[in-house]
């Protein structure tokens, strides 16, 4: 357990996302949501953010995705401003809700990011189908959002976020609304996708076991105001299966993150 | 296409309908069997209405010169008019005149609705300043508006079309404006997340939403426009049109009551048919424009 980032990781590999001195205030009367936040995420890392409700996890993610801009400080993605990265389509976001367009079929929902990008219709179709196959939904391509389950819808959302091959994927409690069994299965799939593609993933979650299972590092956040409380490095094996959750190492890591979280929850 | 009378499907907070109301049927189309049930229901309602008619006649003791029997009215549809035409042919010819004005009026109402709806939703200053005028157009008594319009333009399709437009455009404005305004922020952010330019929000999100809402409101628009076209024929001087025929028939009602009832029945049936036809046409066009088989349910205004 280290309190700062492992120097080897941040110096040896390129930095994908960097927050330095970030302050975000929505309502001046309520004080800043994030205050003096510093964080570096290296290329190819899977970093989870855990913390109490209202600690600014989602805001942090939205800052990285340039859906909102910092009040102070800078957010760099690939060494450039987040806005540049967003316009260059380096970032894919999976939101809390699947956000599918009801009048478009599953396939055309996944094709959406490719439209007006110079890709021909055949090419769009091919890439979207390939992505749907990756999330195991090739058979549902012709269905409409109201005809599929919540878990399937979120998988479609993942396919849509990956279809333009962004190097960085931001996930904001993507499976929060799903039942635990579906959630575990999707977590495995996402972890698998990450291992295969080597993308950088920033993952917001409420669940400590989920964070531990998925990540290379877990960021525990302080709240009021939100800042980095502690960064927990995980030394679990890289290849993780459902069995990983039954190992003593896993329990140990979960306990460490839980203790850290309790220490940083502050007064409720 | 069938008109959707199903109970609203369950919707989750993010607006994605989770339950397929008719499992296994793409696009939530209604099974054919239901179509037959609806048809049977319509026949039953018509029979019930005829029964009520005869009951009223019996209980109130109305003689045939005040309220004819239903079968007498039905028989009169096939009688010869003074000019030698069959009554139903003559009535349908006049209905066609009114329907033409109503259809052009519906088209104009949709155009005006789309234009004003876009302005209302997209120009923050324009919307609130336009709203009182829109409400005024609703508060105006259309019946009172018809005579001056007819005097101004002379009896004919121009006055009828303008009346139909005036009567029908308001729900279209609201539908378009609502569709655009109610595009979820989350969907706009989704487009932002993959760096889509702002104008894509219009074509990908706002236009489909406006189209969805307009297809939901089209029945209201069509019904009002038809009413507007009918009202335009009521001032004296108008000769063609089904409402003018109704009015003429009332004048010799005591002499022969059947023509008035025949004409009134044709107005009613014509209005209903027009509304359903236009609704089906617009929904078909909307599905075609969105390249979809599933048109999301919108709010009927």
- pTM for the full model? 0.84
Our CA-based measurement puts residue A179 at a distance from the nearest CA of chain B, in whole angstroms, of: 15
Chain segment A41-64, per-residue pLDDT in tens: 999 999 999 988 888 899 999 999
For residues A236 and A29, is the Cβ–Cβ distance under 8 A?
A: no
Domain boundaries, chain A: 7-90+166-265, 100-165
Question: Which architecture characterizes domain A7-90+166-265 according to CATH?
Answer: 3-Layer(aba) Sandwich (3.40)
Q: Report the pLDDT value the prediction gives residue A223, as an integer from 0 to 100.
A: 82
pLDDT of residue A267: 52
Report helix, strand or coil for A209: helix
pLDDT attached to residue B44? 96
Q: Are strands A46-50 and A217-222 parallel, antiparallel or unpaired?
A: parallel
Tens of pLDDT along B254-285?
899 999 999 999 999 999 999 999 999 999 99
CB of B290 within 8 Å of a chain A CB? The answer is yes
Weakly modelled stretches of chain A, pLDDT under 70: 1-12, 266-268
Q: Summarize pLDDT for B185-199 with one digit per residue, the tens.
A: 999 999 999 999 999
* Whether the predicted pLDDT of B13 surpasses 60: no
| Alpha-carbon torsion, ordered B33, B37, B38, B41, to 10 deg | 170
Considering only the beta carbons, identify the residue of A103, A105, A112 that sits closest to B212. A103
Residues ≥6 apart with Cβ < 8 Å to A228: A37, A38, A39, A219, A220, A221, A222
**Chain B residue with Cα closest to A113:** B194
Instruction: Tell me the H-state helices in B26-86.
Output: 32-60, 70-76
Cα B93-B95-B101 angle, rounded to 5 deg: 110
Question: What is this model's ipTM?
Answer: 0.90
| Predicted confidence (pLDDT) at residue B2 exceeds the cutoff of 70 | no
Surface of A (7-66) touching B: CB under 8 A = 65-66
Q: Would you state the pLDDT for residue B240? A: 86
A104 in contact with chain B, both atoms CB, cutoff 8 A: yes
Please check whether residue B26 touches A, CB under 8 A. yes
pLDDT tens digit string along B94-139?
Answer: 999 999 999 999 999 999 999 999 999 988 788 788 888 888 888 8
């Amino acid at each position: 357990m280290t309190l700062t980032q492992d120097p080897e990781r941040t110096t040896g590999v390129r930095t994908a996302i960097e927050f330095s001195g970030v302050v975000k205030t929505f309502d001046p009367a309520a004080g800043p949501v994030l205050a003096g936040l510093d964080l570096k995420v290296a290329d190819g890392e899977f970093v989870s953010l855990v913390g109490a409700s209202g600690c600014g996890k989602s805001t942090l993610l939205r800052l990285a995705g340039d859906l909102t801009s910092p009040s102070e400080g800078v957010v760099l993605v690939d060494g450039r401003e987040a806005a540049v990265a967003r316009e260059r389509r380096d970032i894919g976001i999976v939101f809390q809700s699947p956000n599918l367009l009801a009048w478009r079929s599953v396939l055309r929902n996944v094709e959406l990011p490719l439209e007006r990008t110079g890709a021909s219709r055949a090419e769009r179709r091919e890439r979207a189908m390939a992505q749907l196959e990756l999330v195991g939904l090739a058979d549902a391509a012709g269905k409409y959002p109201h005809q599929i389950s919540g878990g399937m819808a979120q998988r479609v959302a993942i396919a849509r976020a990956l279809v333009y091959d962004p190097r960085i994927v931001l996930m904001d409690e993507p499976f929060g609304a799903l039942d635990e069994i579906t959630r575990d299965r999707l977590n495995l799939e996402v972890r698998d996708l990450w291992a295969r593609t080597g993308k950088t993933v920033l993952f917001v979650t409420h669940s400590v076991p989920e964070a531990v299972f998925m990540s290379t590092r877990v960021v525990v956040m302080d709240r009021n105001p939100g800042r980095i409380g502690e960064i927990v490095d995980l030394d679990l094996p890289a290849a993780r299966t459902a069995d990983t959750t039954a190992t003593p190492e896993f329990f140990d890591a979960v306990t460490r993150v839980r203790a850290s979280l309790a220490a940083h929850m502050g007064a409720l | 296409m069938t008109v959707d009378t199903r109970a609203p499907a369950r919707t989750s907070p993010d607006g994605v309908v989770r339950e397929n109301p008719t499992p296994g049927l793409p696009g939530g189309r209604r099974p054919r069997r239901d179509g037959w049930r609806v048809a049977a229901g319509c026949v039953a309602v018509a029979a019930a209405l005829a029964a009520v008619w005869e009951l009223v006649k019996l209980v109130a003791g109305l003689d045939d010169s005040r309220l004819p029997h239903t079968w007498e009215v039905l028989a009169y549809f096939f009688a010869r008019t003074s000019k030698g035409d069959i009554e139903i042919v003559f009535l349908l010819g006049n209905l066609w005149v009114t329907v033409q004005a109503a259809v052009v009026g519906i088209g104009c109402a949709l155009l005006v609705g789309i234009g004003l709806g876009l302005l209302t939703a997209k120009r923050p200053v324009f919307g609130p300043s336009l709203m009182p005028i829109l409400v005024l157009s609703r508060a105006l008594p259309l019946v009172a508006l018809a005579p001056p319009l007819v005097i101004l333009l002379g009896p004919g399709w121009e006055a009828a079309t303008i009346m139909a437009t005036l009567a029908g455009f308001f729900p279209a404005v609201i539908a378009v404006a609502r569709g655009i305004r109610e595009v979820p922020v989350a969907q706009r952010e989704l487009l932002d997340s993959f760096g889509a330019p702002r104008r894509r929000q219009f074509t990908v999100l706002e236009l489909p939403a406006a189209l969805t809402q307009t297809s939901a409101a089209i029945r209201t628009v069509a019904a009002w426009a038809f009413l507007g076209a009918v009202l335009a024929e009521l001032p004296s001087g108008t000769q063609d049109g089904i409402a003018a025929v109704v009015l003429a028939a009332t004048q010799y009602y005591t002499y022969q009551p059947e023509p008035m009832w025949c004409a009134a029945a044709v107005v009613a049936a014509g209005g209903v048919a027009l509304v359903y036809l236009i609704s089906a046409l617009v929904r078909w066009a909307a599905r075609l424009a969105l390249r979809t088989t599933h048109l999301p349910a919108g709010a009927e205004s």
